[in-house]
Structure formats: structure tokens, C-alpha cells
Amino acid sequence: MEKIDSTHSFLTITMPSSSPFLLLLMLFFVVTDTVYSEEEEVKTTFIVQVEHDTKPSIFPTHRHWYESSLSSSSSIIHTYQTVFHGFSAKLTPSEAQKLQALSHVITLIPEQVRHLHTTRSPQFLGLKIADRAGLLKETDFGSDLVIGVIDTGICPERESFNDRDLGPLPPKWKGQCVSGRDFPASSCNRKLIGARYFSAGYEATNGKMNDTLEYRSPRDSDGHGTHTASIAAGRYVFPASTMSYARGMAAGMAPKARLAVYKVCWNAGCYDSDILAAFDAAVADGVDVVSLSVGGVVVPYHLDVIAVGAFGASEAGVFVSASGGNGGPGGLTVTNVAPWVTTVGAGTIDRDFPADVVLGNGKIIGGVSVYGGPGLSPGRMYKLVYAGSEGGGDGYSSSLCLEDSLDPMVVKGNIVVCDRGVNSRAAKGEVVKKAGGVGMILANGVFDGEGLVADCHVLPATSVGATAGDEIRKYISLGWHSRSPPTATIIFKGTRVGVRPAPKVAAFSARGPNPESPEILKPDVIAPGLNILAAWPDGVSPSGVHSDERRSEFNILSGTSMACPHVSGLAALLKGAHPAWTPAAIRSALITTAYTVDTSGDSLLDESTGNVSSFFDYGAGHVHPEKAMNPGLIYDISSYDYVDFLCNSNYSAKNIRVITRKGADCSGAKRAGHAGNLNYPSLSAVFHQYGKQSMSTHFIRSVANVGDPNSVYKVTVTPPPGTVVTVEPNTLSFRRLGQKLNFLVRVQTRAVKLSPGTSTVNTGSILWSDGKHAVKSPLVVTMQQPLQ
């Protein structure tokens, strides 16, 4: 799992799109830093793409054919036949090289290990059950739409997954309910209509699963999958809360949508071969939406199994929503950036859980927590210590409150200040509690800024921002040099609703620009992802700490993992309202109707700094479900358009075939322009100055009328500072629904003074309006000064 509290270290691997297979083997040897004889070669998992249609008739099945290509020491992990054609197997480098030489083998992709990116949000989004009209009523709450959740499985007994008043299974459904440990076939119902698990890839690397620690079944032993599934499609449940916090009605975005879960994530991570098998099964089963809160390093699309699987799903008409990652607030951290994937960042909602620190000097410092146990003694002030200077250990490990790093002689009976990072936030509290501490203040580092995440701690604890952390540490330092030793207490204030301003861009939410395709703005949109209440398994503590014996039907979690299923559920609702819409059309509706102002009417702020956010932080803005139902115009994209995009991105014909499973002739595409000409609802221009004084580019776009049959749209241009932007024509006159019209956007700019290797970004927008619909596209202009 990519917890929000990881070390924030992200590896980005970039290679030329035409990288030959030998480069992959070189990369393998660089990583292992060891040379082996053929007998000693270490095996690793590869995903093998084959010429599906060239199977000799002598083989009864493709699997038999694939097995004939392998040595006796290797066996097939998975076969793929829907979104990808081929198989996965564990191979030595020499076996991989021999396999690559076979005429029917197109490519081998080294496996990555992925990690998970880890109420009130329906009301905050404007989805109201009592409305006589609107997106929920229009689509019968998502009934008969199927959302496939690729995650850690599900706890089927939760009330969020009951099937009361639901009709029979959709006729198109072809999936299965696979039984396993503590998951009989009767676990499925008319709500949870499918459940599978994929562990072969995980076990190929880690050995046979320990059934005492993990369920060899679709049952969720982590909690992440249950949480995301209920955000996407949980039923209405009242009352709902966790540890008495966030009391109210819990509901997913599409309460009547059907769920199919595909468990691919285990204690050691989520393995590419299993993820691709889940994509393959989900599309074959008949899902309408795939929700994927999993990510990894950014690599070219032909080496990215999520991108490859998502392309196959999109081509089959399946909308794919993926979390953008929790690497924020730093730039270039967004993941799952393929243009056929809807990439989701995280925003805050108008609810929080204040838990204030009161210092001995009378200063009150705001924090957040969902601690639900015995509190500190009322009116009593406790000695306050900073683990980094007084906790014992080596200073670094004690400051982070890592396992066995604290000295009980120093900590016992005191409130301990711990720095955020490395281990999970709740685990730090367990370390403090084991050492005898009575409470914890968890302080953000400089990188985390002022963004606060509420946790269900195992002892009285609260989280404070970076500035507050510095103030508290300074108070401790000064206190020990005076006659008044530092003291503090924590006051828990429960749930607060109506927080303004909201939303903000969550501090942890990964940011652009797009590391692989800067011409495509990512993330696409943001959705609620901070402190989200959703269903939780009965066998997992709300803190995730093994020693914690508390149990709750709901839990509060934060991450782009939580934002992603919000968009997945909304996509199901939009698909229900507009069955003919393609995945690109649905994404277009979400992007062009997104908003960029908060409840106070001001520009969206960055939670980590308090400053105004930008398109690289939130994409086109925060999703607006009701407006997305009737966007007026849509920017649609076909599979052929994506091929042209890949051609113009300098992908080779072979690598395009890996992604699309089809041959590609790039000669015509390259004559048509550049990668930015993909018919995307946002526009991003990147200028490399190279000593030029004036530069220009253009974007060709096509929009289809889905609003009123007879409508006239006029354009309003807000040019980025320092640019001249023209749109031709400036008026689009439609005479029927479905009619498509083209327009051209020309951007002209002049060079600016920059140091070598630096860049500057300016933003604007293109807005088409007929007086009823406002169809807005972000326009981003990046000026780069190459290294000399």
C-alpha cells in the first residue's frame, strides 16, 4: 500500500519509447548488481505479449501453445485474452531473451510491484436523495451498472453491501463469485454480484501464501478494498460513524450500482501480473467501470501494465478511474497518467475533527484526530517531551517514533511529540503507548506542510501542521532551559461540519505536470479524499495496528485512494444517464464542468501552503456531478485518436502494438501535428526556448453537441499571461444533437528569461457557452529553458 505516510520518495524511470528489449535486460542487471551463470540466474516475472492470431492448429488452446514456448523449469502464472493477449511467467534473463527471439512473441514487460494509494461526501458533492430530479434519480441510483473494484477484496457482510430492493442481475453479467477461505459462494448477492482473487503473481515472487495472515479468497484482510468499494457504490446506511465521529448517513456515489471485486493486493503489494489478470477478467465479466486505487512508478506506457490493461478496457467501452497518488505536495509526482485513464486527485470536504493542543504557556494550537478511547484527565497538564531530543535511540529513529526507539524512562507518563514519516501515523502512537507515554502530538515535516490527516489513534493523539510542530518543539526547547518545564494537554472536540473554505487541494494529493506526457494535463480532476467515512471489515482494527482490539463497521481514511472511487461511482451514474457515452465522453463531462472556486467564492487553495492552487494541483478542478450530467458539449476520443497520439509521442510501431494490440502506421498521424492535438478536454503547450524569441503552436479540437438541438456557443478566451490566444471560429452553431464541429486554438508567446534547466508556467482557459451550458477547458503554457 502506498500509505500517505510513506517517505514520499518516488522513483521515476523514463526511457525512449523505442527502447529495445535488451535495455530491459540491462535494467534488470543494473538493479540486481549481480552476474549469474545460467544455472544460477535469478528468476523474475515477465508479462509476455504474443501474436494471438498465429496459434498453430496443433495446439488445442492458447495456453498449450504458450506452455510449449517455456522451458521445463518455468510455468505459466496467468493467461490473458481480453484486454491483452499473452501470459505471465517467472523467467531467468536468458530464458526471457530466448523467448523474445520467438517470432510470435511481441514483447516482454518486466513486472512492477504496485501499492495502494491510501460519509459526508455525497451531500458535499450535491447528490441529494430527496431530489425529485437529478443525477441519482435520473439513473435510478446507478442500478444495473457494474463497478469493478481492483483492490484488496471486500467484507461482504457489511450493511453497505446489502441487496434489499435490488432487481435481478444485469443480463450482460458473465462474472463469477469465487469461493475461498471464509468466503463461501453465498457471500455474493444482487449487490455484490462478482468476486475473484488473483494471487499467482504474488506467490510466484513470494512463495506460498501464509493462510494464517491472509485470506486466500476475495475476503478483505486489509480494509482498503472494502472502504473504496463502499465509496463507489455503498448502500444508504444509518446511523453510521467511527468511534462516535462523523455520525450520520453513509452512502456511496451510486448506491444501487452492482459491485464486482477483484482482489489483487496482498501484504507484499499488488503485482502487475495479477493486476492485468484482474483487468482481463473484469472486462470479460461485463463491468461498466473499473476503479483502481493502485499505483507505481511512471514508465512509458508500453511498459506500464496498468496503462496497457486500461487501454484494452477503454477500447471495450469500460471507464477506468485511477488514483493519482499520494506524493504531494511536490510536483511531477502524479501517477497513472495515460490519457485513456481518468486520473483523480484528492480534495478536502467541509467537515473535520478538531483536537487542539493546549500548551503550558496558554497557547492553543489546532490539530485533528478521531481518537475514540479514554481521554486525558480533564484539567491536568502533562509533561511534554520531544522524542527527537529526549526519546532515546539514535535521534533520527526516536524523532520518528520508530519501533523500539523510545526510552520508557523518558517517555512514561508524558505526552510525546513525534515527527511524521517512514512508519504509519497510527503505528507511532503504538510505539509511544508501549513506551509508557500517555499521549502523542504528531508533527508534520516541511514537505507535508500544513495539511492534516485525522487518524483513529490507539492513545490520545492529534496531528498538527509543520509550523505548529516547529512552535511546539521550540516551546519544549525553551522550557527545559527555564524553571517552567514544558507541559501540554489535548482537547478532543468531536466532529465539526461547515468548515470553510472547502474544498482545498489535499496536501498529499500528487501533482503534475505529467511526467510521461506533458501535453496531457494530469491529474484530470479532484474529488473528496480527506477524512472519508466508509465501510470497514470486521476483522481489522480502525487504526490498522495489530494490537488494537477495537472494531468498527465504518472507518475514516484519507488518500487519492478515496478520491478515485468517488469518480468511479459518478462515472457509473453518468453511464446510466447516457448509455451511449464512451469513457472519453464521460471524462470530458467531468472535466469541462469541474469548478475551481471554493465555498467562499475564492480560488481553490492548496492545503499544504494556504496559497492558491493551480491546474497542476487539481487538473480541471473539483468534480461537479449534477453539471456533468448535462455538459452541453463533449470532447470524444476514439482508439484511432490514441494511436495518433502515441505516434506523435514518438512511440514505435512495435510499442504502440503492445498497448493497442494492433499494428500502427504513424506516417499520417505525424503529418497531422503533435501529441497535444489529441482531442483532450484540457490543453497543455510546452515550449522549449532554444534561443528562440517568438514561438507558437496550435490545438485542433472537435466537440459534439449533447445539450440542446439548436444551440449557438460563443467562446471566451482567458489567455495565460504573456501569450496571445486566438480561437477559430469563435462561434459554433449546432443544428442537431450529436453534431460535431471543429475549432482551432492558436497560442503565441515570446521567450522569457530563465536559467538553464528551469521552467515557468502560466495558465488560462477556453470557455464555450450557449447561455445555458459553460464548457470550460484549462489552458496551460509551460516555458522551458533547456540545459546548455
Q: How buried is 726 (Cβ within 10 angstroms: 0-12 exposed, 13-18 middle, 19+ buried)?
A: middle
Q: List, for residues 559-570, the tens digit of each pLDDT value.
A: 999 999 999 999
- Set 291, 561, 613, 777: catalytic member: 561
> How far is 192 from 246, CA to CA, in rounded Å?
26
**Predicted confidence band of residue 35 (pLDDT cuts 50, 70, 90):** very low
**151 in catalytic set:** yes
- Set 17, 69, 144, 151: catalytic member: 151
**Predicted confidence band of residue 594 (pLDDT cuts 50, 70, 90):** very high
- Please indicate whether residue 6 or residue 423 has the higher confidence score (pLDDT): 423
Work out the average pLDDT over 280-298: 96
Exposure class string for 178-212: b at 16+ Cβ within 10 A, else e: bebeebeeebbbbbbbbbbbbbbbbbbbbeebeee
> How far is 184 from 213, CA to CA, in rounded Å?
19
**Predicted confidence band of residue 254 (pLDDT cuts 50, 70, 90):** very high
> How far is 243 from 373, CA to CA, in rounded Å?
8
**Is 3.50.30.30 the CATH classification of the domain at 354-494?**
yes
- 115-347+501-629 belongs to which homologous superfamily? Peptidase S8/S53 domain (3.40.50.200)
Q: How buried is 499 (Cβ within 10 angstroms: 0-12 exposed, 13-18 middle, 19+ buried)?
A: middle
Query: Where in the chain do CATH 3.30.70.80 domains reside?
Result: 21-112
> How far is 310 from 338, CA to CA, in rounded Å?
9
Q: List, for residues 525-580, the tens digit of each pLDDT value.
A: 999 999 999 999 998 999 988 889 899 999 999 999 999 999 999 999 999 999 99
Closest to 440 in 3D by CA, of 467, 481, 409, 472: 472
* Residue 305 identity: V
For 350-364, give the DSSP string: SEE-BEEEEETTS-E
> How far is 275 from 515, CA to CA, in rounded Å?
22
Residue 88 per-residue DSSP state:
E
Query: Where in the chain do CATH 3.40.50.200 domains reside?
Result: 115-347+501-629
Q: List, for residues 293-330, the tens digit of each pLDDT value.
A: 999 889 999 999 999 999 999 999 999 999 999 999 99
Q: List, for residues 85-108, the tens digit of each pLDDT value.
A: 999 999 999 999 999 999 999 999
Helical axes 560-577 vs 583-592, angle rounded to 10°: 110
Report the DSSP pairing between strands 192-197 and 258-263. parallel
Q: How buried is 750 (Cβ within 10 angstroms: 0-12 exposed, 13-18 middle, 19+ buried)?
A: middle
| Radius of gyration of the chain, Cα coordinates, nearest whole angstrom | 26
- Is a pLDDT exceeding 60 seen at residue 4? no
Cα dihedral sign for 154, 157, 159, 164? positive
Work out the average pLDDT over 594-612: 95
- Set 85, 115, 224, 578: catalytic member: 224
pTM: 0.91
> How far is 201 from 208, CA to CA, in rounded Å?
11
Q: What is the pLDDT of residue 662?
A: 87
Q: What's the per-residue H, E or C state across 193-212?
A: EEEEECCHHHHHHHCCCCCC
Q: How buried is 467 (Cβ within 10 angstroms: 0-12 exposed, 13-18 middle, 19+ buried)?
A: middle
Closest to 341 in 3D by CA, of 564, 577, 173: 564
Q: Which long-range contacts (CB under 8 A, 24 or more apart) does 60-66 make?
A: 63/87
**Average model confidence (pLDDT) across the chain:** 90
Q: What is the pLDDT of residue 722?
A: 94
Query: Where in the chain do CATH 3.50.30.30 domains reside?
Result: 354-494
The grid cell for 294 is: 493502485
Least confident range from 136-145, 533-542, 577-586: namely: 136-145
Other CB atoms within 10 Å distance of the CB of residue 551: 12
- Is a pLDDT exceeding 90 seen at residue 691? no
Q: What is the pLDDT of residue 484?
A: 80
245 bridge partner residues? 242
354 bridge partner residues? 368
Give the position of cell 535469478.
42
The span from the first CA to the last CA of the chain, in angstroms, equals 40
Exposure class string for 604-638: b at 16+ Cβ within 10 A, else e: bbbbbeeeebbbbbbbbbbbbbbbbbbbbbbbbbe
Residue 139 per-residue DSSP state:
T
> 564: which residues sit within 8 A by CB, 6+ positions away?
117, 228, 291, 292, 293, 321, 322, 323, 344, 527
> CATH for 21-112?
3.30.70.80
Q: Phi and psi of 723, rounded to 5°?
A: -125, 160
Q: What is the pLDDT of residue 40?
A: 55
Work out the average pLDDT over 351-365: 95
What share of the chain has pLDDT > 90, as a percent? Answer: 78
> CATH for 633-784?
2.60.40.2310
- Is a pLDDT exceeding 70 seen at residue 118? no
Q: What is the pLDDT of residue 6?
A: 37
Q: What is the pLDDT of residue 287?
A: 98
Q: List, for residues 709-718, the tens digit of each pLDDT value.
A: 999 999 999 9
Q: List, for residues 604-663, the tens digit of each pLDDT value.
A: 999 999 999 999 999 999 999 999 999 999 999 999 999 999 999 999 999 999 999 988
Closest to 533 in 3D by CA, of 785, 132, 129, 238: 238
- Please indicate whether residue 132 or residue 250 has the higher confidence score (pLDDT): 250
Angle at 516 between CA 511 and CA 518, to 5 degrees: 70
> How far is 760 from 782, CA to CA, in rounded Å?
6
**Predicted confidence band of residue 510 (pLDDT cuts 50, 70, 90):** very high
Q: What is the pLDDT of residue 23?
A: 39
Q: List, for residues 368-406, the tens digit of each pLDDT value.
A: 999 988 889 998 999 999 987 765 556 678 899 999 899
**224 in catalytic set:** yes
Query: Where in the chain do CATH 2.60.40.2310 domains reside?
Result: 633-784
Q: What is the pLDDT of residue 639?
A: 95
